[in-house]
Protein backbone atom coordinates (compact mmCIF):
# COMPACT_ATOMS: atom_id res chain seq x y z
CA UNK A 1 0.00 0.00 0.00
CA UNK A 2 1.06 3.46 -0.65
CA UNK A 3 -0.03 6.80 0.68
CA UNK A 4 -1.49 7.67 4.09
CA UNK A 5 -3.17 4.27 4.51
CA UNK A 6 0.19 2.51 4.40
CA UNK A 7 1.36 4.36 7.47
CA UNK A 8 -1.74 3.68 9.60
CA UNK A 9 -2.22 0.02 8.74
CA UNK A 10 -0.28 -2.46 10.81
CA UNK A 11 -1.14 -6.02 11.73
CA UNK A 12 -2.21 -6.68 15.31
CA UNK A 13 0.55 -8.08 17.43
CA UNK A 14 1.00 -8.88 21.09
CA UNK A 15 -1.25 -6.76 23.31
CA UNK A 16 -3.34 -5.52 20.38
CA UNK A 17 -4.14 -9.10 19.37
CA UNK A 18 -5.05 -9.98 22.94
CA UNK A 19 -7.36 -6.94 23.20
CA UNK A 20 -9.02 -7.95 19.94
CA UNK A 21 -9.64 -11.48 21.28
CA UNK A 22 -10.99 -10.10 24.58
CA UNK A 23 -13.37 -7.77 22.72
CA UNK A 24 -14.54 -10.65 20.54
CA UNK A 25 -14.97 -12.90 23.61
CA UNK A 26 -16.83 -10.11 25.43
CA UNK A 27 -19.20 -9.78 22.46
CA UNK A 28 -19.92 -13.51 22.59
CA UNK A 29 -20.62 -13.32 26.34
CA UNK A 30 -23.00 -10.36 25.79
CA UNK A 31 -24.81 -12.33 23.07
CA UNK A 32 -25.20 -15.35 25.35
CA UNK A 33 -26.52 -13.15 28.18
CA UNK A 34 -29.05 -11.56 25.84
CA UNK A 35 -30.21 -14.96 24.61
CA UNK A 36 -30.44 -16.33 28.16
CA UNK A 37 -32.67 -13.43 29.17
CA UNK A 38 -34.89 -13.99 26.13
CA UNK A 39 -35.16 -17.71 26.88
CA UNK A 40 -35.96 -17.03 30.53
CA UNK A 41 -38.68 -14.56 29.56
CA UNK A 42 -40.14 -17.04 27.07
CA UNK A 43 -40.25 -19.79 29.71
CA UNK A 44 -41.85 -17.42 32.24
CA UNK A 45 -44.55 -16.31 29.78
CA UNK A 46 -45.23 -19.87 28.61
CA UNK A 47 -45.48 -21.05 32.22
CA UNK A 48 -47.92 -18.26 33.05
CA UNK A 49 -50.10 -19.13 30.07
CA UNK A 50 -50.16 -22.85 30.93
CA UNK A 51 -51.01 -22.07 34.56
CA UNK A 52 -53.85 -19.82 33.42
CA UNK A 53 -55.24 -22.49 31.11
CA UNK A 54 -55.12 -25.06 33.89
CA UNK A 55 -56.86 -22.76 36.35
CA UNK A 56 -59.53 -21.90 33.77
CA UNK A 57 -60.23 -25.60 33.17
CA UNK A 58 -60.51 -26.26 36.93
CA UNK A 59 -62.86 -23.30 37.33
CA UNK A 60 -65.01 -24.52 34.43
CA UNK A 61 -65.24 -28.00 35.98
CA UNK A 62 -66.34 -26.55 39.33
CA UNK A 63 -68.96 -24.42 37.58
CA UNK A 64 -70.32 -27.40 35.66
CA UNK A 65 -70.61 -29.40 38.87
CA UNK A 66 -72.36 -26.51 40.63
CA UNK A 67 -74.78 -26.03 37.71
CA UNK A 68 -75.69 -29.73 37.68
CA UNK A 69 -76.27 -29.70 41.43
CA UNK A 70 -78.37 -26.52 41.18
CA UNK A 71 -80.53 -28.03 38.44
CA UNK A 72 -81.26 -31.06 40.64
CA UNK A 73 -82.18 -28.79 43.56
CA UNK A 74 -84.51 -26.70 41.35
CA UNK A 75 -86.24 -29.86 40.13
CA UNK A 76 -86.62 -31.09 43.74
CA UNK A 77 -88.12 -27.77 44.86
CA UNK A 78 -90.43 -27.70 41.81
CA UNK A 79 -91.66 -31.18 42.68
CA UNK A 80 -92.32 -30.12 46.27
CA UNK A 81 -94.17 -26.98 45.12
CA UNK A 82 -96.33 -28.90 42.63
CA UNK A 83 -96.94 -32.18 44.49
CA UNK A 84 -96.52 -31.13 48.12
CA UNK A 85 -93.80 -33.66 48.77
CA UNK A 86 -90.19 -34.22 47.82
CA UNK A 87 -89.51 -36.89 45.19
CA UNK A 88 -88.77 -40.40 46.43
CA UNK A 89 -85.62 -40.77 44.34
CA UNK A 90 -83.49 -39.23 41.63
CA UNK A 91 -85.08 -41.37 38.89
CA UNK A 92 -88.48 -39.82 39.67
CA UNK A 93 -87.04 -36.41 38.82
CA UNK A 94 -85.56 -37.70 35.57
CA UNK A 95 -88.80 -39.40 34.54
CA UNK A 96 -91.35 -36.77 35.60
CA UNK A 97 -89.49 -33.46 35.55
CA UNK A 98 -87.15 -33.94 32.58
CA UNK A 99 -84.02 -33.57 34.66
CA UNK A 100 -80.88 -34.22 32.64
CA UNK A 101 -77.51 -34.71 34.34
CA UNK A 102 -74.49 -36.15 32.54
CA UNK A 103 -74.24 -39.47 34.35
CA UNK A 104 -71.03 -40.26 32.50
CA UNK A 105 -69.41 -37.34 34.36
CA UNK A 106 -71.20 -37.38 37.72
CA UNK A 107 -72.54 -39.77 40.30
CA UNK A 108 -75.70 -38.45 41.92
CA UNK A 109 -76.20 -39.23 45.61
CA UNK A 110 -79.82 -38.59 46.51
CA UNK A 111 -80.82 -39.39 50.06
CA UNK A 112 -84.30 -38.66 51.40
CA UNK A 113 -85.34 -38.92 55.03
CA UNK A 114 -89.02 -37.97 54.78
CA UNK A 115 -91.32 -36.61 52.08
CA UNK A 116 -91.54 -33.22 53.80
CA UNK A 117 -87.79 -32.75 54.48
CA UNK A 118 -85.41 -31.56 51.77
CA UNK A 119 -83.33 -34.51 50.55
CA UNK A 120 -79.55 -34.51 50.76
CA UNK A 121 -78.13 -34.13 47.27
CA UNK A 122 -74.46 -34.61 46.44
CA UNK A 123 -72.76 -34.84 43.08
CA UNK A 124 -69.42 -36.54 42.71
CA UNK A 125 -67.27 -36.16 39.61
CA UNK A 126 -66.24 -39.42 38.01
CA UNK A 127 -62.48 -39.33 37.51
CA UNK A 128 -61.10 -40.67 34.27
Which tens digits make up the pLDDT trace of 39-61?
888 999 999 999 988 888 888 88
Spell 77-109 as b/e; 16+ CB within 10 A means b. Answer: eebbeeeeebbeebebbbeebebebeeeebebe
Tell me, yes or no, whether 36 lies in a domain: yes
Q: How many domains does the chain have?
A: 1
Tell me, yes or no, whether 119 lies in a domain: yes
Q: What is the mean pLDDT of residues 80-91?
A: 93
Tell me, yes or no, whether 117 lies in a domain: yes
Task: State the burial class of residue 69 (Cβ atoms within 10 Å of its Cβ: 0-12, 13-18, 19+).
Answer: middle
Average pLDDT, the chain: 83
Domain that holds residue 78: 24-125
Residues in Cβ contact with 123 at an 8 Å cutoff, skipping those fewer than 6 apart: 65, 68, 69, 72, 101, 106, 107, 108, 109
Tell me, yes or no, whether 13 lies in a domain: no
Amino acid sequence: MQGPEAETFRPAKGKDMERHRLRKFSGIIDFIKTQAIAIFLFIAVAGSILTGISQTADSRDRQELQMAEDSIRRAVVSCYAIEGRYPENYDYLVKNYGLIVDEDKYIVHYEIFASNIMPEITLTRITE
